Structure 1
Amino acid sequence: MTLYPDHRYDDHGQLRPPLWFWPIALLLTRAVWLFLMAGATRQGGSELLALLYPERWSLYLSLLTDLPALLALLACGGTFASPDGWRARLRRLSPQLLIVSALGGLAMQIHALMSLGWQFSWLNALVLIASLWSLWYLLRSRQLREYAADRPHGPDA
């Protein structure tokens, strides 16, 4: 008997990440995706980054705060092949990595709002609400903790 329905397990018997893992991880790694999209567009990439990140240090700091969430994304698959490998260890740390990334992103958002004099904009408000909800989910999710604690069984199990 399993704890969750069969569709929550992959072909190797490991728990899949919870549904909200993916949108939260994408939200927490948005600077990385913007950087990659700017690199993919040859002419307008630097202008796009300059528009979204007027100070270059804020882009680098955002990329740094996105790194833990990116590591949690990298740990999603392939842990069955090596139960004690680096991906399996990162998978066990994925809730903490996501929380660190969420706190760093929230600190960056609050700093940006303070530098703007707390001027209201819908985009900033929506991202702030999404970040706060993501942090709440990461702190409270039993499914995420169980996903991280699920040990791979090895290739011959």
Structure 2
Amino acid sequence: MKNIEFHPAHYDSQGRVKLPLLFWCVLLLQARTWVLFVVAGASRDQGSTLLNLFYPDHDNFWLGLLPGVPAVLAFLLSGRRQLFPRLWYSLRWLLILAQVVLLCWQPLLWFYGEPMSGIGIALVVADIVALLWLLTHPRLRASFAIEKD
């Protein structure tokens, strides 16, 4: 028997819990360096200017791609999560770990001399909210649960 703690609209046609809309926003937040990379690549002429604006230190750019890897993996696997149930289940914990890394990274940059900015503070606040949401949202937790037949 299916779990009935959610509204019937929260299930897809196969009876799986749909991923919440805010989940996609959290993935974009985690993959922000990947999004910048794609936008810079698409804007050809201004691409290097755009990358230098957000990442004047190129080492930080390459390091910024690492915490976004679980988010990119979640984007790719979300449509086929039933084919890789154990990987999908463990992906939630990878997303939480990546969110903790992102949350600690910005204050660490400030500690090492990068000036504080409004964008940096907004990203830290958004990272805190995203981490709390990843840890506590019941529908998200249910969508990552391993289905028992």
Shorter-chain TM-score tier: 0.7 to 0.9
**1:125 equivalent in alignment to 2:121:** yes
**Alignment: residue pair count:** 147
Q: Deviations over 1:12-64 (max 9, x none)?
A: 11111123211111111100000011111111101111111111110111101
The partner residue of 1:96 within 81, 93, 114 is 93
**1:51 equivalent in alignment to 2:49:** no
Distance 2:6 2:143 in 1: 11
The partner residue of 2:137 within 122, 136, 141 is 141
Tell me, what secondary structure is at the counterpart of 2:91? helix
Map 1:69-108; keep pairs closer than 5 Å. Answer: 69-80=71-82, 82=83, 85=84, 88-108=85-105
- TM-score w.r.t. length of structure 2: 0.87
Q: Deviations over 1:91-150 (max 9, x none)?
A: 212321211111121222112222346x54221111110101111111222222111005
Distance 1:152 1:10 in 2: 17
Which structure has more helix as a fraction of its residues? 2
- Kept after mapping to 1: 8 A contact 2:86/2:146: no
**Could you say which residue in structure 2 is the equivalent of 1:112?**
109
RMSD of aligned alpha carbons? 1.9
Distance 2:87 2:119 in 1: 32
Structure 1 gap segments, 5+ residues each: none
Instruction: Note closer, same or farther for the CA distance 1:152–1:56 as it changes in structure 2 (3 Å cut).
Output: farther
